[in-house]
Structure 1
Amino acid sequence: MASTSKSRGLLISCPEHPETPLVEDYHAGDMICPECGRVVGDRVVDVGTEWRTFSNEKNNKDPSRVGAAENPLLEGGDLSTMIAIDPTSAQQLDEFGKPMYRNRRTVNSADRALINAFREIRQMADRLNLPEMVSERGNTLFKQVNDTKSLKGRSNDAVCSACMYIACRQEGVPRTFKEICAVSKVSKKEIGRVFKLILKALETNVDLITTGDFMARFCSNLALSQKIQKAATYIATKAVDLYLVPGRSPVSVAAAAIYMASQASEDKKTQKEIGDIAGVAEVTIRQAYKLMYPKAHQLFPEDFKFHTPIEQLPTQ
């Protein structure tokens, strides 16, 4: 493919059109004047990325000249090239009788287990629509856990799921246990159990989750306006400050706050709709809401415009 270039700083130009930028033909290695077609320079070195395949040849094999990037978390990444030199062996020659070049990579059993775990973590991140940095953090956590050998006997699926949960919280995009459970093969109880074991084994911790960590995502998935989201965030924070919901998880408090804010606005959502998005049972939302309702007049922000007065809100 040809592209316009000012001769890459070289002191060459077309004698007939010295002010015209030359066109660099990477395929032929020539520099051509677009005005008259004169080849001003030839055999230009292509400084682009080398990536060649041989798919146009008669055989169906497609050996690439470059492989995947090395993973620093793997130890057995010995990448080497071997050339078949025994002319009597037909298996070492291609159909034209030429020696075959092969890329050989030795992967030990430990690295093979890590590769499978990294693939599982990547798939969970993709299903949750998470950025690459989260899966990379999950890979690092799994590698650290694997090196300590403190969770032997636990399934890799459970460890992968717990590492993904920790990675989400450490990267500031927390997900609930139910959300992790939905994209993995492990139960919520097992993920929670392994999560605690990993924190103990690595001697690390995670920031406490708050209602604000989930509020924007829940409201967005429910198609609620910014006004309702702001009110729900204020209600949840105020309920925690007033110690109205002791022992309740931030997810259930956030769900109850969204229910209260939506019921007071024109865009009302049912407990079932909110529970489906937040992964919380309707009875859990109802219990948290009942604790908050008696102090409802203290929970709403002062500038909130009520579509339904507090007195007419559902009592449960």
Structure 2
Amino acid sequence: MSARQCKNCGGADIDIDQARGSAVCTACGSVLEDNIIVSEVQFVENSGGGASAIGQFVSADGPAKAPVLGSGFHTSLGKESRAQTLQNGKRQIHSLGSQLQLNQHCLDTAFNFFKMVVSKHLTRGRKMAHVIAACLYLVCRTEGTPHMLLDLSDLLQVNVYILGKTFLLLARELCINAPAVGKVVFYFTHCRGAGSFNK
């Protein structure tokens, strides 16, 4: 019940349902208010990996103030999350790239590949270390450095075929034509990875 007055019949017997956010005149049955207002803001994860707010803040003083949260909220939170992913990726690229003794140009190119991967949402369902290694190997192939996928596999202690699968996917999705390695290098990598080099 409330001290409000019905606009239609002038009755003062108003039933307010907090759970539904409605106010109904019990004398004439007019719905005076039907906006659902919640006292808390909930967050849900969207398909892009960001977070969106459900509902919005409403001032206790009335509807005069603009809502604090709206469509811009999930955008800024998504940008923050993406920036953090890029920062972590850059750090890991520099760490792994320095172990391979790659120059700054190669590291910058690998980071550019990584940014493209993140923008195309190709990191979903894949380990970050595998994606970073694949980006670095893309650079090794395009720049013609003497590194093999097996070098990255040894550094990360990851099966070379898992890295190879990620590398091929990224090369295809990013439309990067990585030059083929020589037959001897390919044979050595393939056979050594399969454990049949002496055959």
For normalisation by structure 1, the TM-score amounts to 0.35
Summarize deviations over 1:62-92 as a string: whole Å, max 9, x none: xxxxxxxxxxxxxxxxxxxxxxxxxxxxxxx
- State the SS of the aligned residue for 1:183: helix
Residue 178 of structure 1 is aligned with which of 150, 154, 158?
150
CA distance in 2 between counterparts of 1:143 and 1:125 reads: 16
Residue 251 of structure 1 is aligned with which of 179, 182, 188?
188
Match of 1:131 in 2: 103
Q: CA deviation at 1:250?
A: 4.1
Counterpart residue type for residue 251 of structure 1: F
Counterpart residue type for residue 131 of structure 2: V
Counterpart residue type for residue 168 of structure 1: C
Q: CA deviation at 1:282?
A: 7.5
- The 8 Å contact of residues 165 and 174 in structure 1, kept in 2 or not, is answered as no
CA distance in 2 between counterparts of 1:152 and 1:203 reads: 19
- The 8 Å contact of residues 209 and 250 in structure 1, kept in 2 or not, is answered as no
Range 148-157 or range 194-203, more displaced: 148-157
Match of 2:7 in 1: none
Q: CA deviation at 1:211?
A: 5.2
Match of 2:141 in 1: 169
CA distance in 1 between counterparts of 2:194 and 2:169 reads: 27
- State the SS of the aligned residue for 1:149: coil
Number of residue-to-residue matches in the alignment: 121
Match of 1:190 in 2: 162
CA distance in 2 between counterparts of 1:125 and 1:150 reads: 21
Matches within 5 A, 1:233-248: none
What are the ranges of 5 or more consecutive residues in structure 2 without an aligned counterpart? Answer: 1-78
Change (3 A) 1:182 1:208: same
- State the SS of the aligned residue for 1:175: coil
Summarize deviations over 1:28-71 as a string: whole Å, max 9, x none: xxxxxxxxxxxxxxxxxxxxxxxxxxxxxxxxxxxxxxxxxxxx
Residue 116 of structure 2 is aligned with which of 144, 166, 177?
144
Q: Percent identity?
A: 23
CA distance in 1 between counterparts of 2:82 and 2:178 reads: 28
CA distance in 1 between counterparts of 2:173 and 2:159 reads: 21
CA distance in 2 between counterparts of 1:142 and 1:119 reads: 12
CA distance in 1 between counterparts of 2:173 and 2:195 reads: 36
Counterpart residue type for residue 166 of structure 2: V
The two structures, once aligned, show a CA RMSD in angstroms of 2.7
Q: Which structure has the bigger radius of gyration? A: 1
Residue 201 of structure 1 is aligned with which of 159, 167, 173?
173
Pair 1:122-2:94 in alignment: yes
Pair 1:158-2:95 in alignment: no
Relative contact order, higher structure (CA 8 A, sep 6+): 2
What are the ranges of 5 or more consecutive residues in structure 1 without an aligned counterpart? Answer: 1-106, 215-248, 256-278, 288-316
Q: CA deviation at 1:108?
A: 1.9
Q: CA deviation at 1:136?
A: 1.0
CA distance in 1 between counterparts of 2:95 and 2:114 reads: 15
CA distance in 2 between counterparts of 1:176 and 1:109 reads: 32
CA distance in 2 between counterparts of 1:282 and 1:181 reads: 14
Q: CA deviation at 1:251?
A: 3.1
Change (3 A) 1:197 1:280: closer
Counterpart residue type for residue 164 of structure 1: L
Change (3 A) 1:201 1:151: farther
Change (3 A) 1:191 1:282: closer
Matches within 5 A, 1:8-87: none
For normalisation by structure 2, the TM-score amounts to 0.53
